[in-house]
Amino acid sequence: MKKSYWMWYYGDYEIYHYRELNLRRQEFGHDYPTLWYMSSPYISVKFTKDFMCDEDGYAICHANGKGVILVDFEKRYNYGEVIPLKKGGHFLSVEVFNTTGLPAAYVESDVCPSGEGWKADCRNSKPIDAGWHKWYDSKDKNPENFPFEYETKHPITVTKLDDGELYDFGKEMFGYIDIKADTTAKLEVVYGETDVEALDKENANIWEDVSGMTEYRLTQRAFRYVFIRHSEGKILSVSAEYEYLPLDYKGSFVCDNELINKIYEVSAYTFHLNSREMFLDGIKRDRWVWSGDAYQSGRINAYLFADKDIVKRTALGLIGKEPIMSHLNTIVDYSLLWIIGNWEYYFTYGDAEFLNRIYPITLKLLDFCYTRLNEHGFIVGNSSDWTFIDWAEIDKTGAVCAEQMLLAACYDAMAKIADVVGEDGAVFISKKDALIQNIEKYYWDDEKHAYIDSYESGNRNVTRHANIFAIMYDLVSDERKQIIVDNVINNPEIPQITTPYFKGYELDILGKLQRYDVIESMITSYWGKMIELGATSIWEEFDPDQTGNEHYAMYGRPYGKSLCHAWGAGSIYILGRYYLGVHPTSAGYRTFKVEPHLGGFKYFKGVVPAGNGEVRVSVDENGVMVWTNIEGGTLVWNGKEYPIEPNVELNCK
Amino acid sequence: MKKSYWMWYYGDYEIYHYRELNLRRQEFGHDYPTLWYMSSPYISVKFTKDFMCDEDGYAICHANGKGVILVDFEKRYNYGEVIPLKKGGHFLSVEVFNTTGLPAAYVESDVCPSGEGWKADCRNSKPIDAGWHKWYDSKDKNPENFPFEYETKHPITVTKLDDGELYDFGKEMFGYIDIKADTTAKLEVVYGETDVEALDKENANIWEDVSGMTEYRLTQRAFRYVFIRHSEGKILSVSAEYEYLPLDYKGSFVCDNELINKIYEVSAYTFHLNSREMFLDGIKRDRWVWSGDAYQSGRINAYLFADKDIVKRTALGLIGKEPIMSHLNTIVDYSLLWIIGNWEYYFTYGDAEFLNRIYPITLKLLDFCYTRLNEHGFIVGNSSDWTFIDWAEIDKTGAVCAEQMLLAACYDAMAKIADVVGEDGAVFISKKDALIQNIEKYYWDDEKHAYIDSYESGNRNVTRHANIFAIMYDLVSDERKQIIVDNVINNPEIPQITTPYFKGYELDILGKLQRYDVIESMITSYWGKMIELGATSIWEEFDPDQTGNEHYAMYGRPYGKSLCHAWGAGSIYILGRYYLGVHPTSAGYRTFKVEPHLGGFKYFKGVVPAGNGEVRVSVDENGVMVWTNIEGGTLVWNGKEYPIEPNVELNCK
């Protein structure tokens, strides 16, 4: 029998899971909807296939929803019935409606199995190729269920207190808490990323009171600590059913610096916890999908899991459906980063089909962005938009420079995307050129030797952000880059970045500019300090000058900070991209370079996933070894280039 | 305590009920989704109110969904909690999400009761005034429940047959069938609009097999007959719980012709059965909402129930949400009739607020229609559009004339709508003028003295349809109208209309042209013949030349025809509009005329709802009596005009 897969309207699987996961946020005993607009799947989809039977065959259709099957436009069948298909041509129309979930169909058949080759019609535009995924390959695997895996975890310590017990699972965790007690009296279960949070129900983000039973399985949540307060009886056992998406650790990095090895390991764990249906920002507090966070996650993923699917799922969930009448997550920069990220996705994996799929809605997003341009072509947030950029004191009066840098990078990405999908991208190149001219005119400050945040406020405030983007997206000359490094990046008077998010971008430009000394000192002093403070996952923000519980506060709340934030994992990208030095030079690693730099290490070795294979690099004071199982590689070492033959170790002094 | 009402995002109540009712269709044991795209309510809505408390107050919020309440942007509450509101200014934000139904909120409060004055924000465009309705005035009245009423009905005859019993309820009916039996063995319940259908399970549209219990309440369906086949035991009782929307019969017409009185009565019953959440096409088979059918229903409603709400509910359900990428019901003419119908709604009831509410999406619908224009500005259906017009042999090659007539009427309506909402409608007048010139050039046939269906086919086929629209919408001169009547309408060689739908339009132009003799003969010969054949409701189509069970067949199926079709009720409009002669001359009956015509009757009397009152008219061979309780009326009688003083009988010889 031929293999069948559940199918849906392309993009709706992602829209469904994006919606469901974003609406699961709980906080202080409340249910929290997202701040932003979210789409839903189409409620009624017609799956069709036009095909020839070389001999008599059959089909049995199954639906996630209700509906009817039409054979050859006429004969009607119900789901579950055996449909005889005589030798000859046939047209099957499998109609499914479902107002609450994901309309989907599964066709068991020797002649027309569901999946590839089927069309999906939402009745509001032309039929398109149906969406499907190899995960959903039997009729019992409903695509509304996300294929997580589970492992039972036990607390590593239990601390008895006057009014209950504090369970420490040793590190940040996500899953169901299972409790057995010898009483049906009330248990107050308080979750904490820290012990102080778990012990402070009034200020803790997440808690749940239960009673009336002796065994409980609580809904999935994140925690390291769980405190159970109870006035009578005994807790017999507490364990966690850890829930995770199985992902291959394809990338790696090990060096002589144990602190950096630890940072890598904690970063990878942080990143894995947040890599689920989609890239989450943090695992505990909001568990939402944010486009800018996802952009950085896409870069990290390329050097760790190289999981294409999660990038696509995230992008499709975020963009949703037409009409686009607000920014992604309401954030100006996050709309732009969505487009830039899709280009980087393509450049990493060479998946032109995805760019083709999303090109129409990308144009709609851009059309929406055009409604926010001012007379100079600068993008400006209106009262319902959020100009985020970073948690930092940026002068956000009027058109903000960092946004214009992203817009220029976005035009650049659009020109290249258009080229891939066979459209003319010249218009985007013109837009980019005109924009860059205006950026120079309005934002470059010859006295400060830097781009200022705002030309409208008159404050001439300089932050690192716009200046970092200018270098990161190659929007300025090499000479200008050097001026920026000297006057902004290495200027202690310009406030330091406080989020690992933007530290990631800052490290990226330091890598581009080969400032290895600064990179290592930044990683060890910033990330390293968090580890020294006992972090088992990387935090949302970190200010080395804070002390004690101050570290856990944010948004005006004592435990408001996420202590497991995906954007903390940027070191993985930096170590793979600039130390192992592996990066594509044409889309999908058709060609690629390996430009290792030992920096301040005595040695390191690691793996970078590349195309359908991988690249292994090890470097020490004696030289470099590179091995790969794919074509197209070039080693750059000591200023010279060496072609890398697949499956042969290449050693250079 | 102040009165509170459930509130929702304006339009979503209608979109929700439109979706639910359209997806209830069952046929031959299958569930049938609509052929067309349908929207869903927004899944996450924020209701807000900015207000002053003159003294301390409180609020308790209730949600249809989950979410959180924010007071003054900061303090969070759950649904059901008492929220204290101190004297002073406050901002309440009531956030509700619901992925399966209708997100809605209800706020009990002495200072900020929900309903008028609240805003709703879907997070994808600016907040708008929330939707609410007087029906939903207590927290127990969930707006997902439509407020139908119920009456128990008993069959008027039971006929014992070999394999079961046939129950006749005397006329078409809608509701739950309740069955009690002394056996738990299988009962086959077959529904029929006719006895032959109920007795022919294989071809019947609707049936249900039940077993395992002795009492059943089956889901709501339409029927006149129910046959219960069973091989053992006895049926103890069968009754129906009739489900209906209570509506005031504001209009009436009684005359000396008993057949016409009967036609009026059966038409009114037919129309009431189909007037529910929205205007349905037919009560039994598809129970769908079709824009063209609803257009005609809007005209009938104006002379019977004058229920504004059902017109608005229908219009809002049909248009749904952006993006508009297909015609309403996929039908070219039905998009255009939606716009024309909204103008007629405004002109009847004077409800400018509704035009303002729907103006933005009306422009989107028109934008979509523009994507279907050819080089002459003619609207053409593409392969995914349905050029319906009527069930008739129309030459639908390329651009079809009847559609262009509707497009011209649509531009005319748009110009007037734009004027009401304070926009400039000049562009629509230019478009109309240009279109009419091209219609003359391409469709008027000087030899046939008629508009031909298609200029592209070369067939020069003439049907009544385009010619009727030309007169109905005053798109041609009076002289041209006369030419059309002589060469098309009164020309027996031009095929007769076979649907009451288009008969309604044909009667309308006969009324405009004061051809009372033809009207009466058409009503008595066409509708009268149906009544003579025993119709208890008006049929979807009627061909007087058919015999016996032929009448029930349509769409290639023996009982495919709906025998209770709203568009059959057009006589109500004709008798009110052209015999009682009451019609507005400015929007909302601010001014109106009463132009009664006795026609071939000896006498008639009746009532027409008008503005906030009504107009009573009676005419016999001695003269006319008019009475009204509203201002602005003018009686036109024997070529003279008489102002009508409210609350005073006006008699003219």
CB contact under 8 A, A100 and B100: yes
Instruction: Estimate the crossing angle of helix A332-349 against helix A291-303, to 10 degrees.
Output: 20
Band (pLDDT 50/70/90 cuts) for residue B125 is: confident
DSSP assigned state of B621: T
For an interface test with A, give the residue of B123, B202, B327 to mutate (most A CBs within 10 A): B123
Residue B207 has, within 13 A of its CA and on its CB side, a CA count of 19
CA distance A550 to A564: 16
CB-count burial class (<10 Å; 0-12, 13-18, 19+) for A149: exposed
* B19, B44, B95 member nearest A43 (Cβ): B19
The whole-number pLDDT of residue B1 equals 66
Split at pLDDT 50, 70, 90, the class of A271 is very high
User: For residue B95, which residues of chain A lie inside 8 Å, CB to CB?
Assistant: 32-33
ipTM value for the complex: 0.95
Interface of A with B (CB under 8 A): 19-20, 23, 28-38, 40, 42-44, 66-68, 76, 78, 95-97, 99-100, 122-126, 322-323, 325-326, 330, 384
Q: CA-nearest residue of chain B to A20? A: B99
Q: In this model, does residue A434 exceed pLDDT 90?
A: yes
- Put simply, the answer to whether A33 touches B76 (Cβ < 8 Å) is no
- A538 has a pLDDT exceeding 80: yes
Set of chain B residues whose Cβ sits within 8 Å of the Cβ of A44: 23, 33-34, 37-38
The sign of the dihedral angle between the CA atoms of B620, B624, B627, B633 is positive
Q: Which of B97, B288, B365 best probes binding to A when mutated, by most A CB atoms within 10 angstroms? A: B97
Q: Cα separation of B474 and B407, whole Å? A: 13
Report, as an integer, the average pLDDT of A201-212: 96
Of B32, B36, B76, the CB nearest to A30: B76
Residue-level pLDDT at A285: 82
Q: What rounded mean pLDDT belongs to chain A? A: 97
Judging contacts by C-beta atoms under 8 Å, the chain A residues touching residue B323 are 124, 322-323
Confidence category of residue A286, pLDDT binned at 50, 70, 90: confident
Task: Give the mean model confidence (pLDDT) for residues B393-412.
Answer: 98
Res B286: pLDDT: 84
**Confidence band (pLDDT; 50, 70, 90) for A1?**
low
pLDDT tens digits, one per residue of A213-241: 999 999 999 999 999 999 999 999 999 99
**What are the pLDDT digits (tens) for B260-301?**
999 999 999 999 999 999 999 999 888 999 999 999 999 999
3 state DSSP class of B294? helix
Judged by CB atoms closer than 8 Å, whether chains meet at A97 and B23 is answered as yes
Cβ <8 Å between B123 and A30:
no
Average pLDDT over residues B530-553: 95
- pLDDT tens across A435-456, in order? 999 999 999 999 999 999 999 9
Number of H helices, E strands in chain A: 15, 32
Is residue A123 within 8 Å of residue A43, measured between CB atoms?
no
Contact A67 B19 (CB under 8 A): no
- Can you give the C-alpha Rg of chain B in angstroms? 27
The backbone torsions φ and ψ at residue A43, rounded to the nearest 5 degrees and listed phi first, read: -90, -15
- Interchain contact, B37 vs A124, CB within 8 Å: yes
A562: left (phi over 0), alpha (psi -120 to 50) or beta: beta
Q: Is the pTM of this model over 0.90?
A: yes
Share of chain B above pLDDT 70, in %: 100
A230: amino acid identity, one letter: H
CB pairs A-B closer than 8 Å? 106
Q: Which residue of chain A is at minimal alpha-carbon distance from B79?
A: A30
For B210-233, what is each residue's pLDDT tens digit?
Answer: 999 999 999 999 999 999 999 999
A44·B38 Cβ contact <8 A: yes
Coil vs helix vs strand at B35: coil
pLDDT mean over B151-166: 97
Contact A6, A141 (CB under 8 A): yes
Residue B27 has pLDDT above 80, yes or no: yes
Alpha-carbon distance of A389 to A387, in angstroms, equals 6
Q: Across the interface, do B100 and A95 touch by the CB < 8 Å criterion?
A: no
The CA–CA distances, whole Å, from B441 to A340, A407, B400, B444, B455 equal 52, 51, 14, 6, 10
A78 confidence band (pLDDT: 50, 70, 90)? very high
CB contacts, 8 Å: B66 with chain A: 23, 31, 33
Mean pLDDT computed over A510-515: 96
Tokens encoding A431: 């837009």
Classified as helix, coil or strand, A7 is strand
Q: What is the C-alpha to C-alpha distance for residues A411 and A408, in angstroms, rounded to an integer?
A: 5
> Prior bond to A323 cis, omega within 30?
yes
Q: Which residues in A214-333 belong to E strands, given as ranges?
A: 215-217, 221-229, 235-244, 252-255
Provide the 3-class DSSP secondary structure of residue A344. helix
